[in-house]
Amino acid sequence: MKILRPTVKRDLSLFSIEAWELGYTQILKKSLGYSFNITFYYDGEKVNFFHTLEDFSYFKKVVTEKLLNDANLFTRLNEQFKKDVAELEIILSIHTIAATHLHRIHSLMGCIMSLYIFIVSDDFVNRNNTAWESRKLSEGILYRADEMVEKFIEQKLLEKKLPKRLAHFITIDEFDSILNDQSDAEKIYNLLQRQKGYSVFAHTISPESSFSQFCAAHNFINPEMNENYSNNILKGTCAFPGKAKGAAKIIITKEDLYKIKKGDIIIAVMTNTLLTPYIPLVSAIITEEGGITSHAAIMAREYRIPCIMGIHAATAHIKDGDIIELDAEKEKAQIL
């Protein structure tokens, strides 16, 4: 059995997940001679990304080093990356995209992802200063593309008198079929079942009632079963030192922002600019992801708010209203 390693969580449509998987597999194989089957699992709120430990180790120690040590290879891939980003920016700048744009957007997102997975790493850009420029150039573009495409698909679904929420759970080929009136009511019903949970693995989309069932079906060891929160103590990495005590507020969607009150402790997968107006209210920040250049780390330093990053599954283990005592310098928080 192979052990899965959780990496990130993202609020993305299935359209984007397919494109990202294309980047991780086919395009990465073409550019660097290596690919691996990443596991995507939608839990009803966000998409969870998993690698096997073996794949992740090889990716970090061999594939990444190959790109860092071969300047000509990086230059060639980086120049193409910048062209792809520029082309996608032009398409996204159009006031209203058309159905004819979707396949090109899908392809560009995959191509961009195949290099973005390297330059998003703080360690990578610190060792290759040229990568900083490309990282800044591409900041947020994949999420903007996801949002714009989903809104377009929603509009077309409404024109077909179909539920717009289906836009979050449909592939590009399935959308083509709907546009061509080739999907019947039963197919639409089956697609809507994905909002309860689905997995994408080895280019196959499957409805799943739980991640444990997915792991059992594919002979994986579920990493969530191995989480160890001894005495309700959670450990991570300090982004800014300090101590705090307050009520936890789990932030998953933008609607969750309205429940933040003064003195609360934000618990999030990662923060973004939507949270910025609320940062002065909170007493501390805990995130599942992030590096020294992440939004959470920057905001914590700017407002001098204690912050711990890298506490995996914090949003699942902590509940709204839990009283949290945090000591960022010691890199730990405790649920009281």
Q: What is the DSSP string of 240-309?
A: E--EEEEEEEEE-SGGGGGG--TT-EEEES---GGGGGGGGG-SEEEESS--TTSHHHHHHHHHT--EEE
Rg (CA), the chain: 21
Closest CA to 6 of 185, 242, 227: 227
pLDDT greater than 80 at residue 288: yes
**Stated length of the chain:** 336
Distance (Å, rounded) from C-alpha 328 to C-alpha 242? 5
DSSP designation for 237: E
pLDDT greater than 50 at residue 226: no
Averaged pLDDT for residues 154-183 = 91
Beta bridge partners of 46: none
Q: How far is CA 160 from its chain centroid?
A: 30
Is 50 in contact with 106 (CB distance < 8 Å)? no
Is 23 in contact with 113 (CB distance < 8 Å)? yes
Percent of the chain with pLDDT over 70: 97
Confidence of residue 133 (pLDDT cuts 50, 70, 90): very high
Distance (Å, rounded) from C-alpha 73 to C-alpha 101? 30
The pLDDT of residue 274 is 82
Confidence of residue 209 (pLDDT cuts 50, 70, 90): low
Confidence of residue 223 (pLDDT cuts 50, 70, 90): low
pLDDT greater than 90 at residue 84: yes
Rounded to 10 degrees, the C-alpha dihedral 210/212/217/222 comes to 140
The pLDDT of residue 228 is 47
Confidence of residue 97 (pLDDT cuts 50, 70, 90): confident
